[in-house]
């Protein structure tokens, strides 16, 4: 069953075509990687899926619903959550408080000035389950701004997971990380996909991460799809090797 269908989507900014006639289908439980060099249109493509930009042409269908015209907040309510290339967190709040913001939205308490004790206990359980899943339970009372970069990225992923998404979009989750942090994030994504069956689409520059995690890979080149296939097919694609992978494959 398809969770996401992107049908011939394009995005123009004046005379610049950032995304050109891109189609993509993601099945339930799939982990799809989107790769390509800087300027290939990857983040713009994510912005189209998550509703930050409207497409100039084309259609986006999520879980059988045409969401092409839906604003970002309604896509979140429909079940799409994302992280960003530059970590988006509240550094002055604790890990628990950051995740609690998302949990309150999920539990239906958004913008409510007061929450009863029973409702508060439900939110707390939701947050604690998310922190346990992401390995942050022991750091729940730490200020996020004081954490290492890798833990901040995990906290952002936890905020997205607390929304209980049916589609998780990860924009370069290992950006700026050393080998150990990259390994930890990779293991987290592997658990979410393999053990919890999350449907995930991720943008990633580290080809080690891509080839270890992805079920299928879509390669963008100047806003268009250059290739699509399994990691083995992409690794053996001469055009992809020449343009993007070099010796990394």
Return d(Cα 36, Cα 218) in angstroms, integer.
Answer: 9
Asked if 32 and 26 count as a contact pair (C-beta separation under 8 A), the reply is yes
End-to-end CA distance of the chain: 30
Asked if 173 and 156 count as a contact pair (C-beta separation under 8 A), the reply is no
Return d(Cα 133, Cα 32) in angstroms, integer.
Answer: 21
Return d(Cα 243, Cα 249) in angstroms, integer.
Answer: 12
Asked if 214 and 31 count as a contact pair (C-beta separation under 8 A), the reply is yes
Closest alpha carbon to 58 in 94, 108, 100, 24: 24
Return d(Cα 4, Cα 109) in angstroms, integer.
Answer: 28
Asked if 57 and 65 count as a contact pair (C-beta separation under 8 A), the reply is no
Asked if 160 and 192 count as a contact pair (C-beta separation under 8 A), the reply is no
207: left (phi over 0), alpha (psi -120 to 50) or beta: alpha
For the chain of 249 residues, list the mean pLDDT of each consecutive stretch of 10.
Answer: 95 96 98 92 96 97 97 95 90 96 82 69 94 97 96 97 97 94 96 96 94 96 95 92 58
pLDDT at 118: 82
Closest alpha carbon to 41 in 82, 71, 13, 2: 13
Closest alpha carbon to 29 in 215, 171, 173: 215
pLDDT at 245: 52
Q: Show the CA angle centred on residue 235, arms to residues 35 and 224, nearest 5°.
A: 35
pLDDT at 248: 44
| Residue 192, both tokens | 């979410």
Return d(Cα 135, Cα 150) in angstroms, integer.
Answer: 12
Question: Domains (ranges, CATH) in the chain?
Answer: 1-79+165-249 (3.40.50.300), 90-164 (no CATH)
What backbone phi and psi angles, to 5 degrees, belong to 146?
-95, -5
Return d(Cα 55, Cα 20) in angstroms, integer.
Answer: 10
| Residue 43, both tokens | 């983040």
The DSSP letter of residue 245 is I
Predicted TM-score (pTM) of this structure? 0.91
């Amino acid at each position: 069953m398809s969770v996401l269908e992107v049908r011939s989507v394009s995005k123009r900014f004046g005379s610049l075509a950032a995304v050109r006639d891109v189609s993509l289908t993601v099945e339930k439980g799939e982990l799809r990687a989107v790769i390509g060099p800087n300027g290939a249109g990857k983040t713009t493509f994510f912005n189209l899926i998550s509703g930050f930009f409207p497409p100039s042409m084309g259609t986006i269908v999520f879980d059988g619903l045409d969401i092409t015209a839906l604003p970002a907040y309604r896509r979140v309510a429909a079940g799409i959550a994302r992280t960003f290339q530059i970590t988006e967190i509240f550094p002055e709040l604790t890990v628990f408080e950051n995740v609690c913001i998302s949990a309150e939205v999920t539990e239906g308490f958004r913008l409510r000035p007061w929450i009863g004790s029973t409702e508060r206990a439900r939110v707390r359980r939701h947050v604690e389950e998310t922190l346990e899943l992401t390995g942050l339970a022991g750091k729940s009372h730490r200020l996020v701004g004081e954490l290492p970069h890798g833990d901040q990225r995990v906290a952002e992923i936890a905020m997205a997971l607390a929304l209980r998404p049916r589609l998780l979009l990860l924009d370069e989750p290992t950006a700026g990380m050393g080998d150990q942090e990259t390994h930890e994030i990779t293991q987290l994504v592997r658990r979410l996909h393999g053990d919890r069956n999350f449907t995930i689409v991720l943008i990633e520059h580290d080809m080690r991460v891509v080839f270890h995690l992805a079920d299928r890979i879509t390669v963008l080149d100047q806003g268009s799809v250059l290739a699509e296939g399994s990691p083995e097919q992409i690794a053996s694609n001469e055009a992809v090797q020449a343009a993007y992978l070099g010796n990394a494959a």
